[in-house]
């Protein structure tokens, strides 16, 4: 309750340091998922289902019968960094800590069992394994509460943003893809060379980047995600499910306020720009 009073959305964690499992009604996302998940849904389940998406500061929820039962099973407290507008740089070993001390600006630090959490003011897209022993936990992620830490908190620096964004694609400066190109053509479709996990991971990174721009820049993010993802498949004989990928990117852009025609044009232009780069 004290953490929630301090505007930190919290949730119970089990003995394995993971969120508690979904209830029967929410299993396999039968409920549709919560509104703030990667795929927004209508779930209003009173139990702490869906991990980080259930984290809350609402005292009535935290003290409810359902959450009370969950707290009695819990062995740790988790929190949603992005919901508190902070980012946790999770340094998982001494080498990662040494790297941070020579690379990143100092900020609030929390000791962990194997390394340290460096906490910065500002939210961003989450990503695992951005470099050896380093994870980024912010939007659509959770972290374990290990204490208030020491030192003043610093603003989120470009060096941390760059860890996640370094592979994102942006429109080429030498050309403008403003006109609507012809539809994506896969005339040599005979199979994708990538695993479903590879395809889904890339898609989720693109979706996260779009959702991280709720006020402005989502169209550009959609263009960049489409171009980056299409580039991953230019050597594939096809098909690679790019139509489905495109629709998910478009839906994500529309969800954060991009007009539907513009969202579709951004994604289509991005995919065609990737084809043009290897033509």
Q: Is the pTM of this model over 0.75?
A: no
Is the pLDDT at 139 greater than 60? The verdict is: yes
Rounded CA Rg of the chain: 20
Contact 151, 107 (CB under 8 A): yes
- Work out the average pLDDT over 131-139: 93
- Residue 52's contacts (CB-CB under 8 Å, 6 or more residues apart) are 11, 19, 78, 80, 140, 141, 142
> Phi/psi class of residue 31: alpha, beta or left (left: φ > 0; alpha: ψ in -120 to 50)?
alpha
Is the pLDDT at 192 greater than 80? The verdict is: no
Contact 3, 145 (CB under 8 A): yes
Is the pLDDT at 167 greater than 50? The verdict is: no
Confidence of residue 168 (pLDDT cuts 50, 70, 90): very low
Distance in angstroms (rounded) separating the CA atoms of residues 47 and 115: 32
């Amino acid at each position: 309750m004290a953490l929630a009073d301090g505007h930190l959305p919290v949730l119970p964690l089990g003995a394995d340091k993971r969120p508690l499992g979904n209830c029967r009604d929410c299993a396999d996302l039968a409920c549709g998922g919560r509104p703030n998940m990667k795929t927004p849904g209508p779930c209003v389940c009173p139990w702490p289902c869906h991990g980080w998406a259930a984290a809350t500061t609402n005292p009535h929820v935290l003290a409810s019968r359902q959450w009370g039962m969950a707290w009695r099973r819990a062995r740790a407290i988790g929190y949603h960094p992005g919901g508190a507008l902070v980012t946790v740089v999770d340094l998982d070993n001494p080498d990662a800590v040494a790297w941070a001390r020579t690379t990143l600006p100092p900020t609030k630090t929390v000791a962990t069992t194997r390394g340290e959490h460096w906490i910065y003011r500002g939210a961003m897209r989450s990503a695992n394994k951005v470099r050896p022993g380093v994870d980024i936990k912010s939007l659509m992620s959770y972290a374990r509460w290990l204490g208030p830490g020491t030192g003043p908190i610093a603003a989120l620096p470009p060096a941390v943003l760059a860890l996640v964004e370094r592979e994102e694609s942006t429109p080429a400066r030498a050309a403008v893809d403003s006109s609507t190109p012809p539809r994506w053509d896969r005339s040599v479709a005979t199979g994708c060379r990538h695993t479903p996990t590879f395809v889904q991971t890339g898609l989720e990174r693109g979706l996260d980047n779009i959702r991280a721009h709720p006020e402005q820049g989502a169209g550009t993010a959609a263009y960049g995600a489409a171009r980056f993802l299409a580039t991953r498949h230019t050597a594939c004989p096809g098909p690679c499910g790019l139509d489905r990928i495109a629709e998910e990117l478009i839906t994500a852009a529309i969800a954060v306020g991009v007009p539907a025609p513009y969202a579709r044009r951004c994604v289509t232009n991005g995919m065609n720009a990737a084809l043009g780069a290897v033509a």
